[in-house]
């Protein structure tokens, strides 16, 4: 491993009603350049159905590719777990919700009390805000140069997050923002149909297996996960599953299998929130117009519905991102397909795109500094 990992839990209650967990990744071998030169702090926000560790294959490659950054120094990488769903009757502290990491485990009873059938996107924003301001492990993230990177739902919430954090004192310093294939736009049939597709897949997929090995085999066959890289599937089996609650039944009625830590109906609630939300798209125009550089990673070969959404992200109410990037094997301007799951489908191309963005952003800043 080229990195070391620490996990921190922030408890902001009662100002925010849930605890939030996040991982901090730092290079295993720190050079004089890493220690002495100004460095960036990357902050990853994951997709629905994922967990904070899902970025580890990309993180490994980012630290490996640091020579390709053209003077960019990454000091640390954070991955924050979304605060949301867990089966209320199972709060094993060693298992994590597939959607949003250890935070869900910590808050199982609170979420069971609060959940009323819907889940607003603002919850992720509030959780991220609480974590950043909570000085996890004594680290004052308000003093860092933060590069926010969102995948799918993590990217959808970004414009809302910036608006939220900019309005609170003290303000967060956004160095730059990278949006990974968000489904953003005003309420529309195309957007509804994408959310319906995601929601239905949540309801119908298998969620119980006799063992983790059998769950791993399922990922190899299931249409939405079979294209994932092996390391992505391995991480899902490790962090997205938990022991089935029937394991506590008296013998011979006990069941020693595993289940998804996230309730499928509650993940589906996330997709409904995406469909019904128009505020994130309106705030995207404000974000594009701000002084924060915004980069957009997109799919050059989207499905029919996603293709109808993309133009509103390239040009949002007359405003555009700083630059756009696609991904194709062996080339920057290309494609990562698969329901916004580019991190899972191809960590290598994802890391390459991020390295290019960081390098280009650094070059632009150096040029402007010379003017």
* Tokens 């309005």 found at: 167
- In this predicted structure, the answer to whether residue 96 has a pLDDT above a threshold of 50 is no
- d(CA 80, CA 329) in angstroms, rounded, equals 29
What pLDDT, on the 0 to 100 scale, is given for residue 93? 29
Looking at the chain, which runs of residues are DSSP E strands? 3-10, 20-27, 40-45, 74-80, 146-151, 174-180, 208-209, 241-243, 258-260, 294-297, 323-325
Q: What pLDDT shows up at residue 166?
A: 85
- SS3 category, 154: helix
- 115-132 residue pLDDT tens: 666 777 788 888 899 999
Tokens 């298998």, residue?
Answer: 206
Phi first, then psi: give them for residue 26, nearest 5 degrees. -130, 155
Cis peptide before 14 (omega within 30 of 0): yes
| Residues near 311 by beta carbon (within 8 Å), at least 6 away in sequence | none
**pLDDT at 228 (0 to 100):** 93
- Whether 276 and 196 have beta carbons less than 8 Å apart is answered as no
Q: What is the pLDDT of residue 89?
A: 41
* Cut 0.85: pTM above it: yes
Q: Answer whether residue 199 shows pLDDT above 50.
A: yes
Q: Which H/E stretch holds residue 108?
A: helix 108-114
258 or 17, which is more confident? 258
- Give the position of tokens 């100004």: 38
- Select from 259, 55, 232 the least CA-distant residue to 152: 55
Contact 172, 166 (CB under 8 A): yes
Kindly report the backbone phi and psi dihedral angles of residue 357, in degrees, each rounded to the nearest multiple of 5, phi listed first.
-65, -45
Measured CA to CA, the distance from residue 349 to residue 102 in angstroms comes to 27
- Looking at residue 34, its pLDDT comes to 57
Q: Are the CB atoms for 192 and 306 separated by under 8 Å?
A: no
The neighbouring-strand residues paired with 177 are 148, 294
Mean pLDDT of 273-286: 89
**Dist CA 119 CA 137 (whole Å):** 29
Considering only 30-39, 59-68, 319-328, which range has the smallest mean pLDDT? 30-39
In this prediction, residue 104 has a pLDDT band, given cuts at 50, 70 and 90, of: low
Least confident of 24-33, 78-87, 134-143, 222-231: 78-87
Domains of the chain: 3-186+279-370 (3.40.50.1820)
Q: What's the pLDDT score for residue 140?
A: 94
Q: Is the peptide bond before 50 cis (omega within 30 degrees of 0)?
A: no
């Amino acid at each position: 491993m080229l990195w070391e990992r620490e996990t921190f839990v922030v408890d902001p209650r009662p100002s925010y009603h849930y605890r939030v967990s996040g991982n901090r990744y730092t290079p295993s071998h720190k050079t004089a350049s890493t220690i002495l030169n100004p460095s960036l702090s990357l902050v990853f926000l994951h997709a629905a159905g994922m967990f904070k560790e899902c970025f580890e294959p990309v993180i490994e490659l980012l630290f490996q590719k640091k020579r390709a950054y053209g003077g960019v120094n990454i000091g640390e990488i954070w991955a924050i777990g979304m605060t949301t769903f867990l089966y209320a009757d199972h709060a094993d502290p060693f298992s994590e919700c597939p959607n949003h990491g250890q935070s869900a485990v910590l808050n199982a009873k609170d979420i069971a009390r609060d959940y009323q059938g819907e889940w607003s996107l603002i919850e992720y924003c509030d959780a991220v805000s609480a974590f950043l301001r909570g000085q996890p492990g004594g680290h004052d993230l308000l003093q860092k140069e933060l590069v926010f990177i969102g995948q799918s739902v993590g990217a959808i919430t970004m414009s809302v997050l910036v608006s939220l954090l900019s309005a609170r004192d003290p303000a967060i310093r956004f160095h730059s923002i990278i949006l990974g294939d968000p489904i953003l736009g005003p309420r529309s049939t195309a957007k509804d149909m994408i959310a319906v597709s995601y929601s239905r897949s949540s309801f119908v997929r298998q969620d119980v297996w006799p063992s983790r090995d059998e769950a791993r085999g399922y990922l190899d066959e299931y249409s939405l996960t079979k294209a994932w890289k092996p390391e992505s599937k391995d991480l899902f089996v490790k962090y997205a599953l938990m022991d089935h609650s029937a394991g506590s039944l008296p013998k011979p009625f006990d069941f020693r299998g595993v289940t998804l830590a996230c309730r499928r109906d509650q993940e589906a609630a996330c997709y409904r929130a995406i469909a019904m939300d128009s505020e994130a798209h309106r705030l995207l125009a404000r974000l594009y117009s701000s002084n924060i550089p915004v980069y957009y990673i997109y799919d050059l070969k989207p499905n029919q519905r996603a293709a109808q959404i993309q133009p509103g992200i390239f040009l949002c109410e007359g405003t555009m991102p700083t630059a756009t990037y696609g991904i194709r094997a062996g080339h920057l301007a290309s494609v990562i397909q698969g329901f916004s799951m580019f991190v899972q489908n191809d960590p290598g191309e994802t890391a390459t795109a991020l390295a290019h963005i960081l390098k280009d952003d650094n070059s632009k800043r150096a040029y402007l500094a010379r003017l």
